[in-house]
Amino acid sequence: MPKLTKELLDTYKTPASPETGYIKVGMNTCGISAGAQKIYDAFVHKVKEKNIPIEIKKCGCLGMCHAEPLIEVKIGGKPSVLYGRLDREKALSLLENKSLPEFLVEESPGQKKIVLRNCGVIDPERIEDYLEKQGYQAIKKSIFELGPEKTIEEIKKSGLRGRGGAGFPTWRKWKSTRESESSDDNHHGRFIICNGDEGDPGAYMDRSVLEGDPHSVIEGMMIAGYAIGSSTGYFYIRAEYPLAVERIRKAIAQCYRYGLLGKNILQSDFNFDLETRLGAGAFVCGEETALIASIEGRRGYPRPRPPYPSVKGLWGKPTAINNVETLANVPYIILNGGENYSRIGTGQSRGTKVFALTGKIMNSGLAEVPMGMTLREIIYKIGGGIANNKEFKAVQTGGPSGGIISKDHLDTPISYESLQELGSIMGSGGMIVMDEDDCAVDVAKFFMKFCFDESCGKCAPCRIGTAQALKILEKITGGNGRREDLDNLKRICHAMQKASLCGLGQTAPNPLLSSLRNFEDEYLEHIEDKICRAGRCRELMKRPE
Amino acid sequence: MNSYETLPDQLSTYVNKWKPKKGSLVMILHAVQDYYGFVPKEICFVLAKELKVPLARIYEVLTFYHYFRLELPAKYRIAVCMGTACYLKGAPDNLDAIKENLNIPEGRATEDGLFTLEIVRCYGCCGLAPVMSINGKIYGKLDKKKSLGILDEYRQKETDS
C-alpha cells in the first residue's frame, strides 16, 4: 500500500453509482440486533448463487431506528428507495424485482445533515468510501493552506460549541491548550482526547457516528491535534459499545496503512498517533477530569478545576477533550468554511445538533436539525408525534443532568441558552418523550437513583445529597410523603448544585428541580391524595377514570 | 479447569505489549476479563508482580468500575437494560418477570449455573426499547412474554446439546 500524498488524495472522486444498482443494508448495533446481518448474508449469498449483477453494500445508521432493519435499494435507473421492518424472505424477494409498498419508509423532512452526512451513506469499514466523500481533504487544507492558527480561527468563525453537554466554545479550548506551557515540547507535550464515553441513558448519537462514520471523527481528531500542537490522541470509548470500538480500531489501522496516521502525514512534517482506550462502565468518567484519571489507569475520580485540562490535563500536560459529535463537525467546517457553518443556527448556538428521539414517540431514531428548531417540530414533524394515540406529557433532555420540560414549552426554539432557561440542558442530545402513562415523580426518582448509583463518592454533597433525595422520593412514591418533604428536596438540591465537586453532582438535581417546577401538582397529589395519576407508583391509587 | 497461577501466553503477550505504556492497567484488566469472563483474584497477584504495582492499586481500580466482575458468571449472562427509554417502555416489568422466572435477584446466578442476571445502564439501542442482552447478543422490543420465551430458547438449547 503506497502512502497517500496530497496529490494521490485528490484522485479519489465520488464514483458514479453502478448502473445495475445497489442494495445497502444498515449495519449498526441496532440494525444488527434487528436482523440486518442475516439479511445482508442472505443477499450476498443469493447474488452470488444466481449471479445477479447488483452490488450489496453495508452502511451505518440511517437514523430511523423505529424501522430497523433498514435497506436502501436502487435498481436500474430508478431513484433509490428505503425499506424498513423487513425480514429475510421479504428482503430477498426484492431481488426478484418485487416492490413491497407496505414496507417503504421515508425520511422525515426538516433535517440538516452535517454530523451524519456520511452515516448510512458509506460503508464505515472502507476507508476508500470515506476518501471518495472528500475524506481527509480537510486535514490537508489545514496543513497546507491554513496552518494551526487559522484552523482555530475557522472554528471560531463557525461558532462551534461542545456537543457533549456544557457547550464550551471549541476554539477557546483549542487555543488555550495550544498556548499553555508544557513541560515537554516534543512528542508528548500535548494531547487531544475524544470523549466517546456516552453514558447518558437514552442517548446514542455518538455510538451511531463512531459506528457509521469513524473516519470523520478521526479526521476531526487529526485537525484538533494539528491545531493545538499535539501528536498523540486518545479515543476513550465505552466498553458497552463493542462495535464502535471495533470500527474505530479498524479505521485507525487503515489510516496507518495509508499513511494518514504516523510520521509525516501527507508528506508534511505533521506527525500524529492515535490510540483507543476503553471505559469500564462509570458514568462519572464522562466528566473530563475523571476521564483523564481513567485513561491514566486509575479510579475515575474527578478533581477540582481549575487548573483546567487545557492547562494541566493528561499526565499533567495541556489536553483538549472534545466530544465525538463536536469532532465530527470539524472536517465539514474546515472544508466549507467557518462562516458558512455559522449561517446555520440561532443566537449563540450555531450549526446543527443530533438528537436521539426515544421513549413514547412514533418514530424513534436520530434527528440532526439546525439549532433553533422548536421542540414541537422535532417531536411532531420528525418524530411523528406520540405513539398509540396517547397524550404528550413531557420531554426530557440532557439525561440525568437535564430537565423535564412540560408541554407549555413545546414551542421553545432549541438552543443551549433556551434549554438552560427551562432548567434543563442540551446535554449530549438524548430526547426522551413521555406520555400520560408516565409519572413525573417516578421519572425524577429514576434519575436520582441513577445519580445515586453513579456518584463516585468523593465529595459529600453529591454522595449524601443523592442518597437523601432518593430516600425522600421513595417515601413520596411509596405513599408516605409529607408536605415539608418538597422544601427539604429543594434545599438538598440547592446544596448539591452549589457545593458538589464536579458536573455530576452539580447537575444531578436538574431532573428533580425541573419536574418540581413543572409538575408540582403531581407531587402534591402523591403526597396529599395518595394518588398517582399515571398509575406508575404501585403503592398509590390510580386516579379514577 | 483454568489454573490462575500464571498468565496464559495470550495474556502474557498482551501484558508485555502494554506494560511499558503509561496508564495501561484498565486495558490489561479488560484483556483479563475478556479471557476468563471475570477477573480472578489469583491473576491479580500475578499482575501485581508483573506490573510492579501494589495489589491494592489493582483492586482499587477493579472495584471502582461496574464493568469488571470478580466472580465467574454463569454460562448465559442476561443483562437487562434500564436506560431511560427502556425504563419507560416497560423494562421494570420485564425484569420482575425474569427474576420470578429464574427465582433469583439481580446480580446472582441460578442454581443450575445456567443464567446470571444483571442490570445495565444503556446499550444505546433505545429505538428498540426495551432491550436485554444475553452474552452480548441484543434482543429488542421485548415484553414479558417475549423475554421469558427467549429464556426458554436458551434452556431448550441446553437440553438439546
Compute CA distances A290 → A224, A314, A426, whole Å.
Answer: 21, 10, 21
* Domain identity same for A338 and A356: no
Beta bridge partners of A192: A233, A320
- Could you give the CA distance from residue A214 to residue A145 in angstroms, rounded to a whole number? 25
Task: Work out whether strand A21-26 and strand A55-59 pair parallel, antiparallel, or are unpaired.
Answer: parallel
CB contact under 8 A, B83 and A201: yes
**Residue B45 resides in a domain:** yes
Residues B25 and B94 in one domain: no
What is the distance between the alpha carbons of residues B142 and B150, in angstroms, rounded to a whole number? 10
pLDDT mean across residues, chain A: 94
Cβ neighbours for A129, distance < 8 A, ≥ 6 positions apart? A118, A122, A123
Q: Does residue A442 form part of some domain?
A: no
Residue A543 has pLDDT above 80, yes or no: no
Asked, for residue A113, whether it belongs to a domain, the answer is: no
Residue A241 belongs to a domain with what CATH number?
3.40.50.11540
Instruction: Classify residue A542 by its DSSP letter.
Output: P
Check A204 against B125: CB less than 8 A apart: yes
Domain co-membership, A165 together with A90: no
- Considering chain A, what percentage of its residues have pLDDT values greater than 70? 98
For chain A, the domain total comes to 4
Same-domain pairing of B45 and B116: no
Q: Is the pLDDT of residue B97 over 70?
A: yes
Which of residues A435, A464, A480 is at a domain's end? A435
Chain B residue with Cα closest to A64: B127
Read off the pLDDT band of A418 (50, 70, 90).
Answer: very high
Q: Are residues B141 and B83 in the same domain?
A: yes
Domain boundary among B23, B41, B64: B64
CB contact under 8 A, B88 and A65: no
What pLDDT sits at residue B90? Answer: 95
Which residue in the set A207, A359, A399 is minimally distant from B124, CB to CB? A207
Domain boundary among B64, B88, B107: B64
Domain-embedded: residue B136: yes
Distance CA A92, CA A83 (A): 12
pLDDT at A17: 66
Closest by Cβ to A297, choosing from B23, B122, B128: B23
Query: Is pLDDT above 70 for A186?
Result: no
Within 8 A of B89 by CB-CB distance, chain A residues are: 359-360
Whether residue B33 is contained in a domain is answered as yes
Residue B95 resides in a domain: yes
**Band (A545; pLDDT cuts 50, 70, 90):** low
B43 and B80 belong to one structural domain: no
Q: Which of A316, A342, A368 is the last residue of a domain?
A: A342
Residues A140 and A275 in one domain: yes
**Domain extent at residue A501:** 451-529
- On whether both A187 and A336 belong to a single domain, the answer is yes
Q: Which of B30, B82, B126 sits opposite A364 (nearest CB)?
A: B126
User: Is residue B3 situated within a structural domain?
Assistant: no
- Same domain for A136 and A238, yes or no, is yes
Q: For position A106, what pLDDT does the model report?
A: 87
Whether residues B59 and B86 share a domain: the answer is no
Query: A307 and A398: one domain?
Result: no
Judged against a pLDDT cut of 70, whether residue A337 lies above it is answered with yes
Name the nearest CA neighbour of A230 among A287, A192, A263.
A192
Residue B2 lies in a domain: no
Of the pLDDT bands very low, low, confident and very high (cuts 50, 70, 90), residue B86 is very high
Which chain A residue has its CA at the smallest distance from B125's CA? A30
Per the CB < 8 Å rule, is A280 touching B68?
A: yes
Q: Are residues A139 and A244 in the same domain?
A: yes
Answer yes or no: is A40 within a domain: yes
Residue A539 lies in a domain: no
More confident residue, A95 or B116: B116
- Chain B residues in contact with A87 by the CB 8 A cut-off are none
Convert the pLDDT of each residue in A29-47 to its tens digit: 989 999 999 999 999 999 9
- Per-residue pLDDT tens digits for A482-500: 999 999 999 999 999 999 9
Interface pTM (ipTM) of the complex? Answer: 0.94
A366 lies in the same domain as A337: no
Q: What is the 3-state secondary structure (H, E, C) of A224-276?
A: HHHHHCCCEEEEEECCCCHHHHHHHHHHHHHHHHHCCCECCHHHCCCCEEEEE
- pLDDT (tens digit per residue) in A272-291: 999 999 999 999 999 999 99
Helix (H, G, I), strand (E, B) or coil at A535: coil
Task: Read off the CATH number of the domain in which A428 is found.
Answer: 3.10.20.600
The residue of chain A nearest to residue B61, with distances taken between CA atoms, is A299
Instruction: Indicate whether A370 and A221 sit together in one domain.
Output: no
**Do B97 and B154 share a domain, yes or no?**
yes
A185-189, A354-358, B22-26, B46-50: which range is least confident on average? A185-189
Q: Which helix (H) or strand (E) holds A396?
A: strand A392-397
Mean pLDDT, residues A338-355 = 96
A114 belongs to a structural domain: no
pLDDT for the residue A464: 98
Report chain A residues whose CB lies below 8 A from the CB of B85: 201-202, 358-359, 364, 432
Nearest CA in chain B to A446: B84
Domain containing A35 — which CATH number?
3.40.30.10
- Per DSSP, the residues of A76-106 read TTSPPEEE-S--HHHHHHGGGT---GGGEE-
Q: Do B67 and A300 touch (CB under 8 A)?
A: no
Residue A443, domain member (yes or no): no
> Please, which residues have CB within 8 angstroms of residue A242's CB and are 6 or more apart in sequence?
B136
Question: Considering CB atoms only, which of A30, A201, A447 is closest to B122?
Answer: A201
Alpha carbon distance, N-terminus to C-terminus of chain A: 71
pLDDT score of A184 more than 90:
no
Query: In chain B, whose CA is at the least distance from the CA of A434?
Result: B88
- Give yes or no for a contact between A372 and A390, defined as CB atoms under 8 angstroms apart: no
E strand map for chain B:
76-81, 115-120, 132-134, 137-139
| DSSP, res A406 | E
Same domain, A429 and A466: no
Q: Do residues B153 and B95 share a domain?
A: yes
Which residue range(s) make up the domain with B25? 9-64
Question: Which CATH number covers residue A462?
Answer: 1.20.1440.230
Q: How far is CA A402 from the centre of its chain?
A: 15
> Quick one: angle between helices B144-160 and B91-102, nearest 10?
40
A172 and A240, same domain (yes or no)? yes
Return all residues near B97 (Cβ < 8 A) that are at least 6 apart. B144, B147, B148
Strand order through the sheet with A430-435: A365-370, A352-359, A430-435, A392-397, A403-406
Looking at residue B139, which CATH number applies to its domain?
3.40.30.10
Chain B residue numbers touching A396 (CB-CB < 8 A): 84
Q: Which of A276, A307, A342 corresponds to the end of one domain?
A: A342
| Same-domain pairing of B60 and B83 | no
The answer to whether residues A299 and A386 belong to one domain is no
Listed residue (A428, A447, A415, A443) closest to A518, CA to CA: A443
Domain assignment present for residue B70? The answer is: no
Domain identity same for B156 and B91: yes
Question: Which of B44, B64, B84 is the endpoint of a domain?
Answer: B64
Q: What is the dihedral of CA B56, B57, B58, B59, to 10 degrees?
A: 50
Q: Which residues on A lie below 8 Å from B140 (Cβ)?
A: 30, 33-34
User: Is there a domain that residue A64 lies in?
Assistant: yes
| Integer Cα distance of A118 and A24 in angstroms | 13
Q: What stretches of A312-353 show up as alpha helix (H) in DSSP?
A: 324-336, 338-342
Q: Contact at 8 Å (CB) between A202 and B126?
A: yes
Is B31 in the same domain as B91? no
Q: Is residue B144 part of a domain?
A: yes
- Name the pLDDT band for B104 (thresholds 50, 70, 90): very high
User: Does A112 reside within a domain?
Assistant: no
CB-based contact A296:A140 (threshold 8 Å): no
